[in-house]
Amino acid sequence: MLRPDRSSTVRCCVWRNGHGQFVDARPGALRDATCHDPPVNPVDLIAIALLIIAVILGVRSGALPQLLGLGGAAIGAIGGLAVLPALAPVLDSLPPQIRAIVVLSGLLGLIGLGEGIGATLGRHASHALGTGLLGAFDRVMGALVGAAQAVLILWLAGGVIAQAPAPNLAQLAQRSVALRVVDAFLPPPTEVVVALGEVLDDSGLPNVFIGLEQLPAPEIDLPSNEVAGRIGERAAPSVLRVLADGCQLRSSGTSFVVAEGYLVTNAHVVAGARSVIVQTSAGSFEATPVLVDLDLDLAVLYARSVDAPILEFAAAEPTRGDIGATIGYPGGGDETVKPATVATTYFATGLDVTGSARVTRRILELRARVVPGDSGSPFVLEDGTVGGVVFAESRVDPAVGYALSPDQVVELVDEAVGLTEPVPTGPCVR
pLDDT in tens, 260-305: 999 999 999 999 999 999 998 888 999 999 999 999 999 999 999 9
Integer Cα distance of 178 and 175 in angstroms: 9
Report pLDDT for 252. 93
Confidence tier at 401 by pLDDT (50, 70, 90): very high
Integer Cα distance of 329 and 281 in angstroms: 14
Integer Cα distance of 270 and 239 in angstroms: 17
pLDDT tens digits, one per residue of 325-355 = 999 999 889 999 999 999 999 999 988 998 8
Amino acid symbol at 278? V
Confidence tier at 28 by pLDDT (50, 70, 90): very low
- Is 112 a residue whose pLDDT tops 60? yes
pLDDT tens digits, one per residue of 388-398 = 999 999 877 88
- Is 39 a residue whose pLDDT tops 80? no
Q: Which candidate, 225, 91, 108, places its Cα nearest to that of 160?
A: 108
Could you tell me if 240 and 257 are in contact, meaning their C-beta atoms sit under 8 angstroms apart?
A: yes
Q: Which candidate, 305, 349, 208, places its Cα nearest to that of 266?
A: 208
DSSP 218: P
- Is 383 a residue whose pLDDT tops 80? yes
Q: Which of 71-75, 187-191, 311-315 has the lowest mean pLDDT?
A: 187-191
Per the DSSP assignment, residues forming a β-bridge with 12 are 23
Could you tell me if 401 and 370 are in contact, meaning their C-beta atoms sit under 8 angstroms apart?
A: yes
Please give the residue that has the higher pLDDT: either 208 or 366: 366
Torsions phi, psi for 337 (to 5 deg)? -105, 130
- Is 15 a residue whose pLDDT tops 60? no
Report pLDDT for 171. 67
- Is 20 a residue whose pLDDT tops 50? no
pLDDT tens digits, one per residue of 156-200 = 776 666 555 556 666 666 677 777 777 777 666 555 555 555 544
> Mean per-residue pLDDT for 103-129?
78
Domains identified in the chain and CATH numbers: 3-32 (no CATH), 42-200 (no CATH), 225-416 (2.40.10.120)
> Mean per-residue pLDDT for 249-257?
94
Confidence tier at 420 by pLDDT (50, 70, 90): very high
Please give the residue that has the higher pLDDT: either 173 or 39: 173
Could you tell me if 339 and 232 are in contact, meaning their C-beta atoms sit under 8 angstroms apart?
A: no
Query: pTM of the full predicted structure?
Result: 0.66
- Is 100 a residue whose pLDDT tops 90? no
Mean pLDDT value across the chain: 81
Q: Which of 21-35, 63-77, 183-197, 219-233 has the lowest mean pLDDT?
A: 21-35
> Mean per-residue pLDDT for 131-142?
74
- Is 244 a residue whose pLDDT tops 70? yes
